[in-house]
Amino acid sequence: MRRSRPPTRARLFACVLSCLAGLGVASPAAAAGAPPHAWLFGSWTGGLFPVSGAMAAQACLTQPVVIFTRDIVLRATLTDPLYTQREVETARATEGGTEFRFVASRPMVAAGGGDLLGLSAPRPATGFGCENADVLHVSRLRDNEISFPGCADFPYPLVRCSGR
């Protein structure tokens, strides 16, 4: 499903909370039949910055850096108040993680059609700073800690935002 305008952080936050409430915490046994990236569903912080110590759930959930859903991976950037969303083409389980392939990058037009005269050029689709903008390798470090190996935009590990 495509949206004509990028979602705001508040709407994304409300959507993620409702999705997480419906998902609960699934065990590996309950995940049989779930997509290979179901273990990633939810909000993650860090990656752009180091996370030190335990972070309060409320602080983590107010501005997550990456959000994984069944069909879309959203990421925050330092220069844009809106999340960039990438549509998942395939997700494949690997030894110690998951590999995502996204629908091919297309230039994105800013909401509202650009500048006042409508002359701004489309922005290129944002990847994760990896070798290919349409591929993301996720490595599981611990139960609630992941990394994006080889992705310059995410030099630090990410930690899962807890629900409480």
Question: Domain locations in the chain?
Answer: 9-160
Looking at the predicted structure, is the pLDDT value of residue 65 above 70?
yes
pTM above 0.85, yes or no: no
Name the nearest CA neighbour of 69 among 23, 127, 131: 23
Q: Mean pLDDT check: name the lowest of 68-72, 77-81, 127-131.
A: 77-81
Q: Where are the beta strands (DSSP E) in 55-117?
A: 66-68, 72-75, 84-94, 97-102
The pLDDT assigned to 123 comes to: 58
Structure tokens at 102: 């996204």
Average pLDDT over residues 18-44: 65
Binning pLDDT at 50, 70 and 90, where does residue 56 land? confident
Q: Where is pLDDT greater, at 5 or 104?
A: 104
Q: By the 8 A CB rule, do 75 and 86 touch?
A: yes
Name the residue type at position 90.
T
CA angle 53–56–58, rounded 5-degree value: 150
